[in-house]
Amino acid sequence: MVKLKETYVCSSCGAGAPQWRGQCPRCGEWNTLQSVVVEKNRPAGRAGRHAAVAASRPVRLKDVTEQHHTPFGTGIAELDRILGRGLVPGAALLVGGEPGIGKSTLLLQVAGAVAASGRSVLYLSGEESLGQLRGRAERLGVLYDTMLAVSSSRVEDALPMLEEQPAPDLLIVDSVQTLTSTRAEGLPGSVSQVRAVSTELAEKCRACGTCVLFVGHVTKDGQLAGPKLLEHMVDTVISLEGDRRQQFRMLRVLKNRFGPNQELLVFRMVQQGLDLVDDPSTFFLDARDPSLSGTSVVMTVDGQRPFAVEMQALVTRSYLSIPRRTALGVDVNRLHLLLAVLEKRLRLNFGQVDIYAKVGGGMRVQDPGMDLALVAAILSSFYDVPLPARSVFWGEVDLNGQIRPVSAQSVRSVQAKRLGYSSMFCPEEGGTGVTTIGMLQEKLFRNPAADA
């Protein structure tokens, strides 16, 4: 027997809804939803499965050629590098980030660069009208004849364009949470709709050799919204991070089947879009005054790229019964751990002071090598003594106060020398030879008792 389901269709605009409601969700008219019984989609039967198996015969892997899967560039050489080989035909990429962080702007720049090379691009927008898209493309200077745009929230409106010959080289879906498919029930953004839309578009693009870029929303804790299947079914997952009140944006590769992951690019938000920072090593040290106490420089590594980042600390007298411990850009639990180590191993008393820690430039650092720089900044503010000029720190501090080596030691050392840092406090040969926080205190503050 054919399975039937009941749905509701608006008599005014034709929009569908899985449940009855008084007002149409699309046109806003009242009492226009009418009950309609339709056939429920079912999986293919035994005959259909046999036909599918017969259509996809196994072949020898060595006979497979890549003549129709030659990667093409995004227009940004560094982005091509971290993606591995650029944009691969038939591949699926997921770009996530907070609202207003610049996802649509970056993808529109990529679409313009691809269209400028003579390839065809289809931009499917479920969030903006065609007039808004044209205004943004005109501001970015990416209006080309080979760039097509569709403003729709139905995935069925884009599927016929993928079946045309030749199919577009690049499809941008902005965003996957705003599209709906008739093969699934629920409202846009629900688990069933996101799964159906992404699966349908990815399979169609893989068959016709079109590279698809999905824009995905994120939850309040920064995770990609929707089912985890969305991250598993795509080839590359990209996260665009940063503070919307800051000028810079960081593009991080979380998953990549065509190249290394955990790579990082730094962009600067300008009026013409996102501008790549060629050498971000000292980008986060602008307007730093090394003569002030409570600041240090840490040579951190994110992916394979070393950065010189300022670590700030403020130790001030507390007038509260429970002193404050606040951290921005640093895990507050790591701050509590390091303070406990300092109190135990250096016999310092932090019970009557408030302690604040912050990463300069609004960046967030999770590298364990920042422990030593944070300890140096806290001690500098506690004694109110500035650290030596042109000094840089990195190293992990364990619970015994020992300073341990971290990954990419040689990369950090080479970059620190290139940037002109003469005093490197790190647990390796070529540094100052500090192995404990006690030795660090002796070298930086000759008579800490008198200074305190």
Supply the pLDDT for residue 10: 80
Is 99 within any annotated ligand binding site? yes
Is 76 within any annotated ligand binding site? no
Mean pLDDT of 372-393: 94
Supply the pLDDT for residue 169: 93
CA dihedral 97, 101, 102, 103 (to 10 degrees): 10
SS3 157: helix
Lowest mean pLDDT across 20-29, 381-390, 440-449:
440-449
DSSP, residue by residue, 171-194? EEEE-GGG-B-TTS-S-TTSHHHH
Supply the pLDDT for residue 123: 95
Q: Does residue 39 surpass a pLDDT of 70?
A: no
Is 118 within any annotated ligand binding site? no
Q: Does residue 48 surpass a pLDDT of 50?
A: no
CA dihedral 13, 17, 21, 24 (to 10 degrees): -20
Residue 62, beta-bridge partner list: none
Residues of the chain with pLDDT > 70: what percent? 89
Is 101 within any annotated ligand binding site? yes
Across the chain, what does the average pLDDT equal? 84
Is 273 within any annotated ligand binding site? no
Is 259 within any annotated ligand binding site? no
Is 117 within any annotated ligand binding site? no
* Burial state string for 276-291 with b = 16 or more CB within 10 A and e = fewer than 16: ebeebbebbbeeeeee
193-243 pLDDT per residue, tens: 888 899 999 999 988 989 999 998 887 766 777 667 788 889 999 989 877
105-151 pLDDT per residue, tens: 999 999 999 999 999 999 999 888 999 999 999 999 999 999 999 99
For the chain, the helix, strand and coil percentages under 3-state DSSP, each to the nearest 5: 30, 25, 40
Q: Whole-prediction pTM value?
A: 0.72
